[in-house]
Chain A
């Protein structure tokens, strides 16, 4: 391999050497040199999106479903600014992503040139790190360093801004193993004394619970396997955040369901009443904790996290263990076994008795009657008809997302892609495109609401162009359902701008894009319609007309504690008091 190359060739060679097989992008003036090199090679597949935000979310879907970093190519100015939502989304959900943006030539930086934006300035707070490369000699080092930073420690998005003249100029190429990637290397091994202290707590605990999160999935499939081994061996009940679904199988005996604002009754009650809470790769988000001063008041709290800043940010923990989840769980198991595999079995059996009483409440119960499809029913049928298949699910944001988390079961990690931290409407469709690219033979479904779907619907064009058989399963209630639900809860049911008027005909829209459209509004015909969607070898928009005023339960209203959940038959009016109303 020659070592002198143009900057554009250096970028593409660096991507190849980083093992990149796919990039999502959109060309433009300042990015043309790199696109010219992309054109003259066949190792890296370029997926042309319809909007740069779509590229970022597609890369997130790719990353979340493969464990590899997602890569995005965009031009300067609007190309770069359009990735800001995707970068922020990836930052909050710790998704590894590398965005390569073009910049105006170095001589024109600062002159308000055409399509100039201060991209590193704009993206500084929404990336894990970013760089402006002003010298072609630095380019290879910086791209390799970008991959290192995105994938090391707590993963996250990074951005490399490359001026057009740097792409044209010649420089030396260095492969990844010779690159100067700097000193960034967070610790991965947990402190043995601290882990031993945790084992001592586990041996004595009467009402322990595992509260797991996205960190388990980010740590890799091995961490999920260790979590299963540990949970099953100790008989400790387990709940998970939205981001952690699939790390422990939904079909597993110890699974309590998701916790938090729309979590199950049994998981929230168990969190409230436990005496030992073991937080594994989660961060006590406000959707999880509810009212902080009433959060699990009687428990000793242990937190395992790779990021020290996640510890004691909002909830004070008694024992922090800083390290990679996989490493820590491995040591934990080793120490626990070497000390004789002890747990307080009698007490834990009693604890399970209590939990089974809570389970018997059957908190997700709903009634499918009459001629209107309940959204829960639609998802239950989707689950039944796709169970056991090689399936990946993405979602948009809102009620449908919470119902999907409640009614779809995930038995493996990396199968569930959703915008958790940022709550980005418009995430699901492009994410499904990214997932399908990575898993061409698998079934990929985006569970959507009609309003979220419209936010990035242009990506149907991408799905059709690359023959991606993504299934867009829209629960169409002609409302911004979650907004409407909150207006019921705390704004006297004044539905200010929370309905979808002038909706397009989704069947015709599918046909206009060259995809298949299916509409169903009859519960008796739902199974056949879903089967038709699954059988079709190509992209489908499924317009599932559902009950317009269904609320998502259980719900911990904001400002309330875990044991103050609203259940399905609850009246919503005035459920949130003044103190809760100021919260988000």
Chain B
């Protein structure tokens, strides 16, 4: 229930914005977590997910404020609405956590992921790979006579689509960074 109409989104108020425990729809949410960049902080966050049986679809972490020693963790997770709320509350009570934001419900946001794809082949297949790469605005960052390494950035779905197209054209290997996300506007 949300009868009180209190401020939404921030960690300290998240308990006021809970949705029905009975809802069994599985949703995917992108959470960003600002943390102290201290030893073991990633293990603490991952351990929470593992220990309480939550899912991690993708996870990225890097220091974003060297001076303030803060890192930003972006987690894409899935669960019922109640589980998602519980994940946010559990993250919010960790000592090194400053704030938790659920970009999926807190208004518009931008999600990007970077991937490197190694595609091998000659002749028509090689030409076709190059042509599709141009359509997707992927860049060639390494080339031999028999292979390309493409760099592509975009929403995870775009990378999925590009990967699917590269598969019959000689996709040998791929590496993805996981999602980095940020809210739109100010």
Contacts and interface: CB of A to CB of B under 8 A. Distances in A.
B89 A309 contact: yes
A322 B95 contact: no
A155 to B, nearest CB: 12
Contacts, number: 79
B164 to A, nearest CB: 39
Contacts of A311: 15, 18, 89
Interface in A100-130: 120-121, 124-125, 128-129
A318 interface: yes
Interface residues of A, number: 32
Nearest to A318: B1
Contacts of A170: none
Contact of B12 (A149, A308, A314, A318): A308
Given A193-B4, A308-B14, A311-B18, A120 B40 contact: yes
A340 interface: no
A320 interface: yes
B85 A312 contact: yes
B36 interface: yes
B16 interface: yes
Interface stretch (A183-191, A487-495, A550-558): A183-191
B51 A194 contact: no
Nearest to B19: A312
A94 to B, nearest CB: 12
A186 B6 CA distance: 18
A316 interface: yes
B44 interface: yes
Given A124-B47, A194-B16, A320-B15, A132 B39 contact: yes
Interface in B90-127: 90, 92-96, 98
B43 interface: yes
8 contacts: A124-B40, A125-B51, A132-B39, A154-B93, A191-B16, A193-B4, A194-B16, A319-B1
Given A193-B4, A307-B93, 13 more contacts: A182-B95, A187-B12, A191-B4, A194-B16, A197-B3, A308-B11, A308-B14, A308-B15, A309-B90, A315-B21, A316-B21, A316-B22, A318-B1
Q: Which 8 A-B pairs have the closest CB atoms?
A: A309-B89, A308-B15, A129-B95, A311-B15, A316-B21, A312-B18, A308-B89, A320-B15
Interface of A: 120-121, 124-125, 128-129, 132, 149, 153-154, 182-184, 186-187, 191, 193-194, 197, 307-309, 311-316, 318-320, 322
